[in-house]
Chains A and B, each alone.
Chain A
Amino acid sequence: MKQMDKTRLPALFAATLLATTALVTWSAEAKTLRWARSQDATTLDPHSGNTGPNHVLGHNIYEPLVIRGFDGKLVGALATSWRVLPDNPSVWEFKLRPNVKFHNGNAFTADDVVFSIKRALMPAADMKSLLVSVEDVTKVDDLTVQFKTKGPNPLLVNNLTNLFIMDKEWSEANNAATPQNLKEKTENGATRNANGTGPFTLVSREPDVRTVVKKNDAYWGNAEYNHGITEIVYRPIPEAATRVAALLSGEIDYLQDVPVQDIARLQTAQGIKVEAGPENRPIFLGFNIGLPELRSSDVKGKNPLADVRVRQAINTAINRDAIQRVTMRGQSEPVGMVWSRFINGYDKAMDTWPKYDVAAAKKLLADAGYPNGFSITLHTTNDRYVNDEGIAQSVVAMLGQIGVKVTLVAHSLRVHFPGIQRGEYDFYLLGWGIPTFDSHYIFNDLYRTKTPSAGTWNGTGLSNAELDAKIDSLNSEVDTAKRNATIVDIWKWIKENDVYAPIHVQFIAGAMRSEWTIPTDVENTPKMKFLGASRS
């Protein structure tokens, strides 16, 4: 740290000088992208947290074997080609990109891949849920690795798009050989430092304040990806109004997560354009059905949420159209399941939700034995999803109309997520991005019984052996038709049981100064290296 500061001063003077001259001769050569968003990554450790804000920063600095473009299509990153071995459907082989160097100059080899995947499989790594089917990773030669799966897994490659490769040597030398455990309160060498192969190198990191990366001149893809960005300054700004004001006044170039209430205004503002579209991320409410008695309810001795009629009542009492129209100002699509139309397994015919009907909901509650309703606490984030707290407030009001008295606890994602993972909530709001674009990813994390490697985000207490068996069978089913049939089967079970109350798929909007064109990324993790391809 100290050493860096000494060198930083002249560099900053130079940068200031440059900035002033740049005002006169603005060139496409020196281009800084000042990027703001509502919240920061919880850590730079690429395997610790499986959340969007972490991956957004990760994709600048680190690289996965394969990566998705803005449209969601798979492209090779550190891998140049991949295939299932023809003679053994349980083995995937990846050919690695030659002549790739880490930011510190170390060469990238198969050892790093083996190290990173094993690291991501460790208990403290949140990313392990993407690797449940992986049994072993082995090096074949310096530029070839093989993934051995527990039975055939035809979709493994889809799970690797956010699995970043670290430098084995650097990680071991810098106290980062094991991932930082976010549930505990410790940090390791990779929490605030990074050594990836990505298009940008880390210059400085101040959590919650700013993270600066600069162009990696040694990047293997510099010729291919002509993004033209020399530096990215990434700043979390929690206040929505401040964020928008910053863009309007020209302090930032790109604003991710534009507050829905400001989209219209920004669209008409001069020198600013807005790109909006649905994200591959359903937003929903989780019910704790596993507890014998809810912690926050006045109903004692039994759990009202364990009764499917109560869950149906709540589902029926939610006015999804009103949430779409008012809370989201049209920037969402209601959904009937915890899914999105982008994924494998989506079925338009099943994407229905109960018609909003207060009387019917009240009747369901009465049938279940709660004619006067009951009380419960709803936990939500207030800094993660588009209008998360507003949606939760609307739900409180709507449930109030059927006699369910909801206490709202809105807090930061840093408090909320560990709470869900520890199963601490009775009733909560959550959103689920689906990086694999496959139903299994939803089933495995949200519906499967909680084990160290699966059901990580299942805070509902749901545990159904039959369902688990079906979910696990998807891991190894090679016959696509059969696999898809099982998926349909599972969705049918889900439809009947209402363990979650799905609300909508949120739209995401990015606003930028007009000299930039940053398309909407369906995963809401825009990878800036692809910009060259789409910029005019």
Chain B
Amino acid sequence: MVAYLIRSVVQAALVMLAVAFIAFSMFRYVGDPIASIVGQDATIRDRQELAESLGLNDPFPVQFGRFLANALQGDLGISYRQGRPVVDLLVERLPATIELALLSALFAFLIGLALGVYAALNRHGVFANIVMALSLIGVSLPTFLIGVGLIFLFAVQLRWLPSFGRGETVAFGWWTTGLLTESGLKSLIMPVVTLGFYQLTLIMRLVRAEMLEVLRTDYVKFARARGLSERAINFRHALRNTMVPVVTIAGLQLGSVIAFAIVTETVFNWPGLGALFVKSVEVVDIPVMAAYLMFVGLVFVVVNLVVDLTYFVLDPRLRGTGAVPAR
């Protein structure tokens, strides 16, 4: 068990190192680290002096090490566009993205689970088939079209929901939330649905497929033969066995949700990290791009680690052995 844990952590660290390496390469070689400090009008001598004092002439590993040390201390450089520390920018926009992503994931998970179970149990039902057909269309609908469509319908035509921004937020220290005000809650609805939609269809199809598979297995047949109620079979046995892969996938998708927020945030003018990232790509603000990459990398690594551990708790077979679940 300990070996398993250690292995997970080491793997996570390695991945994070790789991501940091890419971010550093972007920062150092694609961007202009000097321009981020003195501007483009500086003289050549100024630049050389600064390059020396910043250690830009040091060997590569030294520079990379310094980049890592700075990153660990929360120093990710200065934004070209806004001239402010990148970390400040990220921290300012973090709550908006986290709130949106978590709610979307929750929405996708709960609705996807419910619809998936329903579709599996009523395999030949009319509603179940409609849901399945719609889910396929959903996969082919680009996220941004869903967003535009929702805005057109609910904001422009019906005027029920706000079309942009977070509404009123309440601040707790550096954290801001839209969950405590009416306008904040209303502002969340459309972005959450837009962002969660793809994941919803994915989870629904997965739950349905897994349920069907489990229901076909021998032990379910055996349980039925033993005279257990359908309800008990469906929920205590089938669903429970379905949960392991579903939780894994849903968890792994969390990283995707955060990254996919890029599109949703742009459509709804959501003041989060994704919108910041798109703006940075547009104006080639390399430090912000590199930092965002590090952030998503971190989220991905943490989520993976947590999923690995959850797996460990949910699947008793793993305990005691050093086996790593196949991904």
Contacts and interface: CB of A to CB of B under 8 A. Distances in A.
A28 B182 CA distance: 23
Contacts of B92: 206
A251 B164 contact: yes
Interface in A10-26: 12-13, 16, 19
Contact of A251 (B151, B163, B180): B163
Interface stretch (A237-245, A342-350, A384-392, A520-528): A237-245
B47 interface: no
A476 interface: no
A12 B178 CA distance: 12
Contact of B162 (A206, A238, A251): A251
A241 B171 CA distance: 29
Interface stretch (B14-22, B74-82, B194-202, B311-319): B74-82
Nearest to B276: A208
Interface stretch (A65-73, A127-135, A138-146, A179-187): A179-187
Interface stretch (B32-40, B211-219, B223-231, B241-249): B32-40
A191 interface: yes
A422 to B, nearest CB: 8
Contacts of A184: 38-41, 83
Interface string B279-305: 100110000000000000000000000
B285 to A, nearest CB: 10
Contact of A185 (B80, B163, B183): B80
Interface in B11-62: 35-41
Interface residues of B, dominant DSSP: loop
A249 B283 contact: no
A29 interface: no
A246 interface: yes
A241 B266 CA distance: 13
* Interface residue range, chain A: 35 or more
Nearest to A187: B83
Given A185-B39, A187-B84, A415-B283, A248 B151 contact: no
Contacts of A242: 151, 163-164, 268-269
A231 to B, nearest CB: 12
Nearest to B36: A185
A41 to B, nearest CB: 12
Nearest to A36: B164
B83 A238 contact: no
A411 interface: yes
B173 interface: yes
Nearest to B165: A235
A8 interface: yes
Interface string B167-182: 0101111100000110
Interface string B246-279: 0000000000000000000000110100000001
Given A185-B80, A187-B84, A208-B279, A246 B39 contact: no
Contacts of A181: 39
Nearest to A8: B171
Contacts of A2: 173
B271 A12 contact: no
A411 B161 CA distance: 31
A183 B181 contact: no
B83 A191 contact: yes
B103 interface: no
A187 B79 CA distance: 11
A412 interface: yes
B110 interface: no
B189 interface: no
Contacts of A13: 170
B155 interface: yes
B62 to A, nearest CB: 25
Contacts of B39: 181, 183-186
B271 A206 contact: yes
A249 B36 contact: no
A344 to B, nearest CB: 35
B276 to A, nearest CB: 8
Interface string B127-159: 000000000000000000000000100011001
Interface residues of B, number: 39
B171 A12 contact: yes
Given A235-B165, A237-B269, A248 B283 contact: no
B102 to A, nearest CB: 20
A9 interface: yes
A245 B155 contact: yes
Contacts of A414: 81, 283
A209 B271 contact: yes
A371 interface: no
Nearest to B163: A245
Contacts of B172: 9
Contacts of A235: 165
B38 A237 contact: no
Interface in A130-182: 180-181
A250 B164 CA distance: 12
Nearest to B284: A415
A414 B80 CA distance: 11
Interface in A222-280: 235, 237-239, 241-242, 245-246, 248-251
A207 interface: yes
Given A183-B39, A183-B40, A5 B271 contact: no
B162 A246 contact: yes
B35 A411 contact: no
A251 B41 contact: no
Contact of B282 (A12, A209, A251, A412): A412
B164 A237 contact: yes
Contacts of B183: 251
B81 A251 contact: no
Nearest to B82: A207
A239 B80 contact: no
Contacts of B181: 16
B282 A411 contact: yes
A5 B164 contact: no
Contact of A239 (B36, B41, B79, B269): B269
Given A12-B171, A235-B165, 13 more contacts: A5-B171, A9-B171, A13-B170, A16-B168, A183-B39, A184-B38, A185-B83, A242-B164, A245-B164, A248-B155, A249-B163, A251-B183, A411-B282
30 contacts: A9-B170, A9-B172, A16-B170, A16-B181, A183-B39, A183-B40, A184-B40, A184-B83, A185-B83, A186-B37, A186-B83, A187-B84, A206-B92, A235-B165, A238-B269, A239-B164, A242-B268, A245-B163, A246-B164, A248-B159, A249-B155, A249-B156, A251-B162, A251-B164, A251-B183, A411-B283, A412-B282, A412-B283, A414-B81, A415-B283
Interface of B: 35-41, 78-84, 92, 151, 155-156, 159, 161-165, 168, 170-174, 180-181, 183, 268-269, 271, 279, 282-283
